[in-house]
Amino acid sequence: GENVEQHPSTLSVQEGDSAVIKCTYSDSASNYFPWYKQELGKRPQLIIDIRSNVGEKKDQRIAVTLNKTAKHFSLHITETQPEDSAVYFCAASINTGNQFYFGTGTSLTVIP
Amino acid sequence: GAVVSQHPSWVICKSGTSVKIECRSLDFQATTMFWYRQFPKQSLMLMATSNEGSKATYEQGVEKDKFLINHASLTLSTLTVTSAHPEDSSFYICSVRDWSVGQYFGPGTRLTVT
């Protein structure tokens, strides 16, 4: 089955700096990679996703890159703000409708 | 996107009792729903895939007789934790899937077993 690894587990950055979270996956058949943001006690919220036919996708301050050959993908948050503080999860899936295999999560703290 | 609700949002029960958690897809007919469990400061772990009108598919290590799943309609799936124990205390989250845009999560149910 799929195995998704995520690093780092915790990350602290100064407000305005960039944050990068990296994930690797094992199943070459995976072709859909969403990123979720989860605040304490709340449901995960999709913030960005990428499919295997695309190498990079950007949405304002958030971007995701995918390297299919190396089987890794990364989340980039620029100009971080305190409200970006949360736990971020990457996931991998075969197509959008199958079960997601989640990474272990990264607790991001943005220091004002 | 799909709107998903869960009920209750939190529940406290005594050890040995059973608890039922409902997951509803409010504006979308979901043939498949997923049930996840999340322990504090940990990731979401898939427990089972709930298929409308058929038996759920459980992940390895998840006891199907303890976590009963019923997906009787296209808008409702239920998870019943039978004979609950303190180690079952967790955050339970369901999701519904849409082939075109992925999954939508419910708000979660926090279960505390005393």
Q: Which residues contact A29 (CB under 8 A, 6 or more apart)?
A: A94
Mutant choice from B43, B59, B98 vs A, greatest count of A C-beta within 10 A: B43
8 Å CB contact of B102 and A99: no
Q: Give me the pLDDT at residue B101, please.
A: 62
CA dist A16 and B78 (Å) reads 44
Distance between CA atoms of residues B112 and B88, nearest Å = 8
Q: Return the pLDDT at A100.
A: 86
Chain A nearest-CA residue for B58 = A99
Judge whether residue A97 has pLDDT over 90.
Answer: no
Give per-residue pLDDT as tens, B6-56: 999 999 999 999 999 999 999 888 888 999 999 888 889 999 999 888 899
Is the separation of the CB atoms in B69 and B62 below 8 Å? no
Percentage above 90 pLDDT, chain B: 67
Chain B contact for A35 (CB, 8 A cutoff): no
For residue A49, the distance in angstroms to the closest alpha carbon of chain B comes to 10
Closest-CA residue in chain B for A89?
A: B43
Of B95, B65, B101, B53, nearest in space to A95 by CA: B101
Tell me what percent of chain A is helix, strand and coil, each rounded to the nearest 5.
5, 55, 40
Handedness of CA A11, A94, A32, B44 (dihedral sign): negative
Transcribe A48-91 into DSSP letters: EEEETT-SEEEETTEEEEEETTTTEEEEEE-S--GGG-EEEEEE
Cβ atoms of residues A81 and A74 within 8 Å: no
Task: Please give the Cα distance from B33 to B48 (Å, whole number).
Answer: 9
Chain-centroid distance of CA B65 in Å reads: 14
Amino acid at the residue A95: N
Please report residues of A whose CB lies closer than 8 A to that of B49: 99
**Residues of chain B contacting A43 with CB distance shorter than 8 Å:** 93, 105-108
Tens of pLDDT, residues A18-61: 999 999 999 999 999 999 999 988 899 999 999 998 899 999 99
Biggest CA-to-CA distance, chain B: 41
Which residue's entry shows tokens 């899937």?
A: B97
